[in-house]
Every structure is written in structure tokens, then in C-alpha cells.
């Protein structure tokens, strides 16, 4: 009752009955606005706000189903944060719902202010850098995943909702993939996967080829790169590291600049600094091109959390390539693949639908099959109802 009073509720006392709280607060709320991060060309323009009940209404508006359940609990001794576990009772696996509630109940901390705090407590592997849950600000994206049998976790005072379980494949999906034709959706997805490979592997592969295996390059390309490196004061791997640090600083500075000026100033400063490095002879032109392509490719990731992880792992690949050359590059890739293969999210293999193989999930992976072919839910969350539609009748 004290917590309710502190949040603006009114206590009502009736004769011979226990008092109860009535919500009468008039705290300031932010109106729904267009998503700031997960922008889409087609689809709705609203996003979650910082009120848990308004966010629940956004979900119920899209899924007016009596089987949609929202089980509320309190997490945080001092913050008394409301947390809602949202799922479709007849679709979601009850063991999954029970496991989510069990992990929430184990959290004992003074305050929970954002879903990211819950994610660190609830991860299957607490030491991995990879995100084992999906956080989204788009109600349509959350509803799509709830329909697949996932569980949404809403946290009061946060405009983002967490979804579990997830796979690596889920982190490359966006609403636009489903709103455009499946040919366009598949092409965009393949570009994303290619972009992330370039982001994590291109600097390391460049160092490996130039440092230990230049004979694998075409003769003209190798001579061109060697010509640019004449008179360079640093080894090639130091060049790449300096360029990468410069890009990271520009990226971080761009986030802190005032809105409306960050893109212009960031691009201008990047061009000036890049030209200065080349003209003074500290970084060669091919190195700057490789690092620039890697930086551009990193923006192809639709999920910010997985993009951050690839940026971390990129330096591990770069270190392996600098020490062992091409062997180090290959071993780094094998290590990353082995680590990803050993992860799980609430018991769901992180590499699904590729390992283990799930045909229903493969239809919505690197390529997006037509909606009339995807009549079964992906098996990652082990839904109670695998079928979500019937075959479209031919005319």
C-alpha cells in the first residue's frame, strides 16, 4: 500500500473490508512517437512509451485475443518496478512461461530501471557478449514474435520490450521484411548477413593476407597495396588498429553531438581526419578503404546489440590475424562459430534453425519465404500450436 501511495494512488477504505488502491495519478507521459532506432519504410509509426499499461494497450490493440495473458510482478526492493510477462496462453509453451517467471523471481536487487538489467540476470550464459534476448521499441515487431509463441517482458518506465527466447537468426529480422514482397525481403536479409561478415572479418582478413599470405592476392593488387605502403612508419596491423580506433571515436562522438548536427559534423570530421592521416603518411589508402568498408557494413545490422557484439569480436579476429596470419583468421572464425553453437536462450539453441535443423524456421532465415508457405510457426520456442494458418485455396 505504501508503494501505491508513493506512485500517486488513492487508498479506499470500506467498512469491514480491507483497503484497496485506486490509480489516480496524473504523472506526465510522453506521447507515442515514431521509432527512433527501428525505423521502417512501411508499417505503423507508433512506438512504446515509458508507461507499462499504455504499452500493454498497444499490444492488446493488435492482438485482441482472450488468450493474451499479462502476468504482473514487482522487481526491485526500492524501485518497486512493475514487470509484465505477456504471452498467448494457448500458443506459448507453458514450460517457457514458467521458466521466465522463475528467473524473474530469483532477481533480488534494489532497483530495475531498464530491460537490459533483467537480461543480464536472466541470460543462460552470463559471460557471453552476444545478446540472448531481443529488445524492441516497435509494438508490431513484439506482436509478431508473440504470435510465434515467444514471451514478451514489459518493464515499467522503459520504452522498450524484451522478447525471449531468441536465436541469432531473429536478430536479423525487421518488420519491413514481412511488409514488402518476399523477393525484396530475402534480398535485404542476404545483404545484412553479408554486411555483418564484412564488418567482423574484413579488417582481419586484410591483415592476414597482407602480412602472411600476400601470394594469394592478384599480382597487380598486391603490388598496388605494396606501393601505397612504401615509407609507412607503422606495421600494417598497427595501421588497421589506428584506423579502427579513429572510426570508433567518430562513431561515439556522433552519438553525443546535438541532434541535427551529428551526421554532418561526424562526416566532415571523418573526411578531414582521414585525409590528414593519409597525407602525413601514418595510414595508407588501402587500409583506410578496408576500415571504411567495414564501418559502413557494420551499420547493416538491424539490431544494435548484435552490432556492438560484432564490433567487439572484430578486434579478436584482428588480434588472431596479426599473430598467426591466415591461420589466426581461420581459428578465430572457428572459435566464434563454436561459441555461438554452444549458446542457448531459455533452452532454445542459439543457432536454430540451422543447428539443429528446423525446416519451419529455415523458411524465415536468410531468405524469407512467402506468407502462404509459412503456415507453421518456427519451432524455436516449441509452441503448443505449430499451425498458424491453412493452405490458401486456389481459384
Q: Are 85 and 1 part of one and the same domain?
A: no
In whole numbers, what is the pLDDT of the chain averaged over residues? Answer: 89
At 208, the pLDDT band (50, 70, 90 cuts) reads very high
pLDDT exceeds 70 at position 382: yes
State residue 26's pLDDT score.
65
Q: Are 214 and 326 part of one and the same domain?
A: yes
Q: How far apart are CA 62 and CA 140, in angstroms?
A: 8
Q: How far apart are CA 72 and CA 70, in angstroms?
A: 6
Q: Are 160 and 261 part of one and the same domain?
A: no
Give domain status of residue 378, yes or no: no
Are the CB atoms for 352 and 361 separated by under 8 Å?
yes
Q: Which residue has the higher pLDDT, 318 or 19?
A: 318
Tell which of 109, 137, 166 closes a domain.
Answer: 166
State residue 6's pLDDT score.
66
Give domain status of residue 125, yes or no: yes
State residue 283's pLDDT score.
85
State residue 353's pLDDT score.
92
Residue 124, CA distances (Å) to 62, 148, 305 in order: 31, 21, 17
State residue 7's pLDDT score.
67
Are the CB atoms for 74 and 83 separated by under 8 Å?
yes
Q: Are 199 and 297 part of one and the same domain?
A: yes
Report the run of H or E that residue 246 belongs to, with start and end. helix 236-256
Give domain status of residue 253, yes or no: yes
Nearest to 274 by CA among 260, 288, 262, 256: 288
At 17, the pLDDT band (50, 70, 90 cuts) reads confident
pLDDT exceeds 90 at position 199: yes
State residue 356's pLDDT score.
87
Of 13-22, 65-74, 99-108, minimum mean pLDDT range: 13-22
Give domain status of residue 374, yes or no: no
Nearest to 377 by CA among 391, 361, 353: 361
pLDDT exceeds 80 at position 393: no
Tell which of 135, 166, 197 closes a domain.
Answer: 166
Residue 5, CA distances (Å) to 24, 25, 138, 244, 264 in order: 10, 9, 31, 52, 48
Give domain status of residue 393, yes or no: no
Q: How far apart are CA 249 and CA 150, in angstroms?
A: 37
Are the CB atoms for 354 and 365 separated by under 8 Å?
yes
Give domain status of residue 72, yes or no: yes
Are the CB atoms for 80 and 160 separated by under 8 Å?
no
Q: Are 131 and 13 part of one and the same domain?
A: no
State residue 10's pLDDT score.
81
Q: How far apart are CA 198 and CA 176, in angstroms?
A: 23
State residue 63's pLDDT score.
96
Q: Are 211 and 341 part of one and the same domain?
A: yes
Range of the domain at 19: 1-30
At 66, the pLDDT band (50, 70, 90 cuts) reads very high
Tell which of 166, 199, 215 closes a domain.
Answer: 166
Give domain status of residue 350, yes or no: no
Q: Which residues pair with 327 in a beta bridge?
A: none
Q: Are 188 and 83 part of one and the same domain?
A: no
Residue 221, CA distances (Å) to 19, 212, 236 in order: 80, 15, 16
Q: Are 157 and 18 part of one and the same domain?
A: no
Give domain status of residue 357, yes or no: no
- pLDDT tens, position by position, 105-155: 999 999 999 999 999 999 999 999 999 999 999 999 999 999 999 999 999
Q: Are 137 and 207 part of one and the same domain?
A: no
The domain total for the chain is: 3
Whole-prediction pTM value? 0.89
Q: Are 227 and 152 part of one and the same domain?
A: no
**Segment 301-321 mean pLDDT:** 93
Q: Are 200 and 305 part of one and the same domain?
A: yes
State residue 183's pLDDT score.
94
- pLDDT tens, position by position, 244-289: 998 888 888 777 777 666 666 666 777 777 777 777 778 888 998 9
Q: Are 222 and 315 part of one and the same domain?
A: yes
State residue 148's pLDDT score.
95
Of 68-77, 90-99, 220-229, minimum mean pLDDT range: 220-229
Mark 73-102 as b/e (b = at least 16 C-beta within 10 Å): eebbeebbbbbbbbbbeebbbeebbebbee
Amino acid at each position: 500500500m505504501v508503494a501505491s501511495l508513493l506512485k500517486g494512488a488513492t487508498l479506499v477504505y470500506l467498512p469491514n473490508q480491507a483497503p484497496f488502491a485506486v490509480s489516480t495519478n496524473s504523472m506526465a507521459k510522453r506521447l507515442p512517437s515514431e521509432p527512433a532506432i527501428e525505423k521502417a519504410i512501411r508499417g505503423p509509426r507508433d512506438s512504446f512509451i515509458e508507461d507499462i499499461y499504455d504499452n500493454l494497450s498497444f499490444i492488446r490493440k493488435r492482438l485482441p485475443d482472450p488468450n493474451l495473458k499479462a502476468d504482473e510482478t514487482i522487481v526491485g526492493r526500492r524501485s518497486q518496478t512493475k514487470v509484465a510477462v505477456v504471452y498467448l496462453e494457448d500458443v506459448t509453451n507453458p514450460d517457457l512461461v514458467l521458466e521466465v517467471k522463475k528467473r524473474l523471481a530469483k532477481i533480488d536487487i534494489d532497483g530495475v530501471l531498464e530491460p537490459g538489467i533483467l537480461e543480464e540476470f536472466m541470460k543462460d550464459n552470463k559471460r557471453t557478449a552476444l545478446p540472448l534476448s531481443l529488445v524492441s521499441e516497435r509494438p508490431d515487431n513484439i506482436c509478431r514474435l508473440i504470435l510465434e509463441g515467444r514471451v514478451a517482458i514489459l518493464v515499467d518506465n522503459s520504452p522498450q520490450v524484451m522478447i525471449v527466447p531468441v536465436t541469432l537468426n531473429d536478430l536479423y529480422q525487421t518488420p519491413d521484411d514481412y511488409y514488402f514482397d518476399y523477393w525484396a525481403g530475402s534480398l535485404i536479409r542476404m545483404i545484412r548477413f553479408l554486411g555483418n561478415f564484412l564488418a567482423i572479418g574484413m579488417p582481419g582478413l586484410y591483415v592476414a593476407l597482407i602480412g602472411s599470405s600476400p601470394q594469394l592476392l592478384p599480382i597487380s593488387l598486391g603490388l598496388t597495396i605494396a606501393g601505397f605502403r612504401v615509407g609507412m612508419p607503422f606495421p600494417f596491423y598497427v595501421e588497421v588498429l589506428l584506423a579502427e580506433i579513429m572510426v570508433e571515436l567518430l562513431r561515439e562522438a556522433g552519438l553525443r553531438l546535438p541532434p541535427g548536427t551529428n551526421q554532418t559534423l561526424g562526416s566532415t570530421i571523418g573526411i578531414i581526419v582521414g585525409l590528414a592521416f593519409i597525407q602525413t603518411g601514418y595510414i595508407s589508402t588501402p587500409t583506410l578503404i578496408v576500415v571504411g568498408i567495414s564501418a559502413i557494413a557494420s551499420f547493416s545490422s538491424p539490431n544494435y546489440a548484435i552490432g556492438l557484439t560484432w564490433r567487439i569480436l572484430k578486434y579478436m579476429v584482428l588480434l588472431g590475424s596479426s599473430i598467426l596470419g591466415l591461420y589466426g583468421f581461420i581459428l578465430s572464425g572457428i572459435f566464434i562459430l563454436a561459441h555461438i553453437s554452444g549458446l542457448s536462450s531459455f533452452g532454445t539453441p542459439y543457432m536454430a534453425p540451422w543447428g539443429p535443423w528446423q525446416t519451419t524456421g529455415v523458411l524465415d532465415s536468410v531468405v524469407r519465404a512467402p506468407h502462404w508457405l509459412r503456415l507453421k510457426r518456427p519451432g524455436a520456442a516449441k509452441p503448443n500450436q505449430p499451425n498458424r494458418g491453412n493452405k490458401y485455396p486456389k481459384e
